[in-house]
Structure formats: structure tokens, C-alpha cells
């Protein structure tokens, strides 16, 4: 079995696995080239990705084929003032051109790049917010907060 076929780190968080054993067999997170060579059905079922598997594979293949230039995104953020929303807007626009990248995904990627202008919020975030709040928020207030966060 290849390292890619033994993606022991994928699956539900509560799935038992041996971290030391995983480290020995899978190494680091797979590169775009490694991902691009995976079978969609395998990736979807092994990592419980469903429809997202095809988008992940397309993203990896587009990077490998040079259709998406990660260095351009990196260069666009180098020396940029994180406080300026124009830098955020420029990068968000570039990211949204990638198939499958909507507001939520772009906000997550941009947070990883150091931009915190938009808090990634989806229905699951809202569900957790409602669950942990001591005062139950009316649905209208929660969605209003989400809408404001995405502006």
C-alpha cells in the first residue's frame, strides 16, 4: 500500500488512530502533485469529503498544470499592509476566481495568510454560536451578525 493510499489521518476526529504510526507512514500533508494523482472516489470515501473531493482534485491539478499560480498570491500579500482592506479585497477577488472558492473558503484562506477582515461563518458556525450562548439569540440576530461579518 502506498503512502497516499494509507491516509490514516483522514476521517472523523473521533476515529481512533496511532499518531506515531501515522507519522511513519504518511509524512506531511500531501503536495498538490500527490493529491492530483489520487482517485476521486478513493479521496471522497477515505476522507469523508463527498462532493468536495472533485473540487480538491481540480484545485490540485490546476496548481500542478500551472493554471493557478500560488506564487502570484504569495507575492500579492508580501509587504502588504494587513490593515488595508484594499489588499484583502484584491486577494479575495483573485481567490474567488478559483472553482469552488466562495466567500467562506476565501475568508478561511485569507485568515491563514494573516488577513482577519472577514470572519469565516457558515451555518455550522451559527449553529455552534447558538448552542454555546447562554442567552439564546433569535435566528434573525444570528444571521444579521453573519451578514455583517461577511461585508
- Residues 45-67: pLDDT tens digits? 988 999 999 999 999 999 999 99
* 107/122 Cα distance (integer angstroms): 11
Burial of 9 (0-12, 13-18, 19+ CB in 10 A): middle
CA atoms within 13 A on the CB side of 11: 11
The pLDDT, as a whole number, for residue 25 is 52
Task: Give the model's confidence band at 40: pLDDT under 50 very low, under 70 low, under 90 confident, else very high.
Answer: very high
* 30/23 Cα distance (integer angstroms): 13
User: What does the domain layout of the chain look like in residue ranges?
Assistant: 1-68, 69-116, 121-151
pTM given for the model = 0.64
- Residues 81-139: pLDDT tens digits? 666 677 888 899 999 999 999 999 999 999 888 888 888 988 888 888 777 775 455 66
Are the beta carbons of 9 and 17 closer than 8 angstroms? yes
Helices first, then strands: H and E counts in the chain: 9, 0
Phi-psi region of 124 (alpha: psi -120 to 50; beta: other; left: phi over 0): alpha
- Among 24, 17, 33, 32, which Cα is nearest to 3's? 24
CA atoms within 13 A on the CB side of 69: 6
Amino acid at each position: 500500500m502506498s503512502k497516499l493510499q494509507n491516509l490514516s489521518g483522514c476521517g472523523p476526529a473521533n476515529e481512533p488512530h496511532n499518531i506515531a504510526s501515522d507519522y511513519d507512514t504518511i509524512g506531511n500533508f500531501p503536495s498538490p502533485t500527490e493529491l492530483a494523482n489520487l482517485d476521486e472516489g478513493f479521496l471522497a470515501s477515505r476522507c469523508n469529503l463527498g462532493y468536495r473531493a472533485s473540487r480538491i482534485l481540480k484545485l490540485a491539478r490546476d496548481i500542478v498544470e500551472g493554471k493557478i499560480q500560488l506564487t502570484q498570491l504569495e507575492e500579492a500579500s508580501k509587504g502588504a499592509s494587513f490593515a488595508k482592506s484594499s489588499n484583502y479585497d484584491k486577494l479575495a477577488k483573485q481567490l474567488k476566481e478559483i472553482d469552488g472558492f466562495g466567500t467562506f473558503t476565501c475568508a478561511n484562506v485569507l485568515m491563514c495568510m494573516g488577513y482577519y477582515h472577514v470572519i469565516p461563518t457558515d451555518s455550522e458556525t451559527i449553529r455552534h454560536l447558538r448552542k454555546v450562548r447562554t442567552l439564546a439569540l433569535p435566528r434573525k440576530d444570528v444571521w444579521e451578525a453573519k451578514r455583517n461579518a461577511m461585508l
